[in-house]
Amino acid sequence: MSDESTSDNPSMLPALTRQVSELVLAGSLDHAEEAFSQAADEHGDYAVAEVLSTLPPQVTALHLAGFDGGKTSIATLLVPPKAWADSLAYIAATWPDNMIEDDPERIAENLFNHVHGIVYANDDEDRRHELLLEAAATDHGATVFAIMWSLAPKEILELAGEILSKGRYVTAQTSGDSDIAPLAVDLAKASEDGWERSLLELFPEFRHSAEMADVELPDDPDEESPFMQRSTRELLYRLRKQVPSVRSSPRRSTRRSLGTDIFS
């Protein structure tokens, strides 16, 4: 792909943004990807990143929701961290109405595929850090991470204790060997506050992760937990309620840090 700057032809950006928006809203995701590919060839990756930064976040959510870790997408590789974080506020609007009630785990697994596909699209550790940092800085981002953690709550509690005791030397190995564990560890390293908030979304009775160190969940998932744990379905509904009106733009959370300096 060319590294040519778009500064020589700034007028193409609004036209490309409009073209991609129309294609996505019409359901032509493959054609939108073709438009991105052509722009990258003619004007460089910067042009695609610029368009993705100016697309309405609900359009970005609709486009990226059509791709997971098993599908190739230029947008997945180049979406700016802030644009992706804002689009997560709208991703619940892309789910079929009946699936939250009938098959919440499937939605959560698809959400994990989406997040994993974006965060690990390449080996750029700095980009991975920025993506997780931006997503974790929002209230809806905390809910998105909690939805994924709800698929492996025992492993997440185990990691919470490991992170408290080992800090940055923690590994993603857990007794359940969940593929969610590496993402959880990377989130904790990217944003201590975001990690804490995602835990409190899943386990709302606690004030911070230090209180979770000695908690043990029942081995039988159908057995009642001794403390409150939001279900996958409940968290999906919470995220659905957080979808902003398209007339308003997503805002960064103003809540103060809940961090406990686990990586000091």
pLDDT score recorded for residue 2: 41
Instruction: Tell me the H-state helices in 214-254.
Output: 232-241
Per-residue pLDDT band for 172 (boundaries 50, 70, 90) equals: low
| Amino acid making up residue 115 | V
pLDDT at position 209 is 56
How large a percentage of the chain has pLDDT more than 70?
A: 74
Structure tokens at 138: 């929002």
As a whole number of angstroms, the distance between CA 189 and CA 187 comes to: 5
Please write the tens of the pLDDT for every residue from 175-233: 556 789 899 999 999 999 999 999 999 988 876 655 655 566 555 555 555 567 899 99
Q: What is the pLDDT of residue 248?
A: 45
pLDDT band at 4; cut points 50, 70, 90: very low
Residues 6+ apart with CB under 8 A from 102: none
Residue-wise pLDDT tens digits, 67-96: 765 666 888 899 999 999 999 999 999 888
CA gap 2, 247 in Å, rounded: 36
Which token pair is 64? 């990226």
- What is the reported pLDDT for 184? 93
Q: Give the pLDDT confidence score for residue 43 in this predicted structure.
A: 85
Kindly list the distances between the CA atom of residue 69 and the CA atoms of 66, 207, 262, in Å, as whole numbers in the listed order: 11, 34, 30
Contact 239, 147 (CB under 8 A): yes
Between 161 and 251, where is the model more confident? 161
The C-alpha atoms of residue 115 and residue 235 are separated, in whole angstroms, by 16
pLDDT class of 255 with cuts at 50, 70, 90: very low
